[in-house]
Amino acid sequence: MRVRVSSNESPFGPAPGALAAASAALADAHRYPDDASEALRAAIAADEAASHPEVAVGTGSAALLMDLVPDRCHGEAGAEVVAFERSFIVYRLAARNAGARYVEVPVGGPASAAGPGYQRDVERLLAAVTDRTRVVVIDNPANPTGAHVTGADLVHLASRLPEHVTLVVDEAYHHFATGQQGYARARTLGLDHQRVAVVTTFSKAYALAGLRVGTLLGPAEIVASADGRRPRFNVTAPAQAAALASLADREHLAATVAGTVAGRQRLAEGLTELGIPHSAGLGNFVTVELGVDAEQVVEAYAARGIGVRALRPYDLHEQVRITVGTSEEVEEVLAASEEVLAGVPSRR
């Protein structure tokens, strides 16, 4: 593909220092990496205003979730994991690995001219919690819809959850959302609940998707227990070095976030001009409403050298997700969209 906007990767690349650090670490490729990722954990703790025992790292946030969710279910028969529908598919997989029942809470309908789609009601989430619920997990912002819950909603949710439930907040896209539409990170809210864990990633804003580094933040007991499930030496030395250097380069992070938000806005504006309903949301992508089966649209984009993502695994059959690319890639996507989407029902 000439333009690959099918995966939620950064088009701006990692910080130059991250590439240099990863390359330097390869000189010791015959050695095992630091199993505890001590230097990286210390840097993350400082960045997040957390203590060292409140931080763990893993091979991406998905791997951390695959350890955390089963750990919080404690192998209990009949345990439940509650999430909004149209959430990151890894939650379902983690519940399956835990032998838990996965409970999906309905969300609002697709985007339309009236407004963004897939809106989330935390009262519905709370209503689904039972004495068998062990985990409530929220991707905030959500993948693949870009929907979010506000900081006020998170505070309300945490204050109402019983103590036997762990609230897991997946903030993979938080860099692109902070300060917009009432969004707030969980750790800034002083949540009144003793079991709140947060996962983040270096794959998105730090552009290290190919090196697989994620972060778990939370109470020391939860962090230590989940960390005990991971394979030893799981985060490679080049990945640790690159993540450490990425944290230090604030200028590159700021430029990546600014470029992504601007690209998201331009993509949304262009789709609006074409009369195509969509949800721009707060991630690094836009979810497009088609009114026809998405596969034919994906193929039409591909014929023009552009890769977009169908969302069938999320039971979204008439939607595609388009990741924000460079400014040049965004314009190329919009030019192709004028042809590809010319006859879709949602434009009429």
pLDDT profile of the chain (348 residues), mean per 10? 91 96 97 98 97 97 98 95 97 97 96 80 98 98 96 97 97 93 94 95 98 98 97 97 98 98 96 92 95 94 96 95 97 95 72
Terminal CA-CA length for the chain: 29
Which among 202, 205, 287 has a CA at the least distance from the CA of 239? 202
Q: What is the pLDDT of residue 347?
A: 60
For the purposes of burial, counting CB atoms within 10 Å of the CB of 135, is it exposed (0-12), middle (13-18) or buried (19 or more)? buried
Instruction: Report the C-alpha gap between 150 and 256 in whole angstroms.
Output: 24
Length of the chain: 348
Provide CB contacts within 8 A for 250, sequence distance 6+.
none
Q: What is the pLDDT of residue 178?
A: 81
For the entire predicted model, the pTM comes to: 0.96
Q: What is the pLDDT of residue 344?
A: 77
Cα angle vertex 236, ends 232, 238, to 5°?
Answer: 165
H-assigned helices in the chain: 16-25, 38-48, 60-73, 90-97, 122-127, 151-160, 220-227, 237-248, 250-273, 294-303, 327-340
Which among 21, 1, 64, 46 has a CA at the least distance from the CA of 201? 64
Residue 301 C-alpha from the chain's centroid = 24
> What is the torsion angle, in degrees rounded to the nearest 10, for the CA atoms of residue 55, residue 58, residue 62 and residue 64?
-50
Instruction: Report the C-alpha gap between 347 and 342 in whole angstroms.
Output: 7
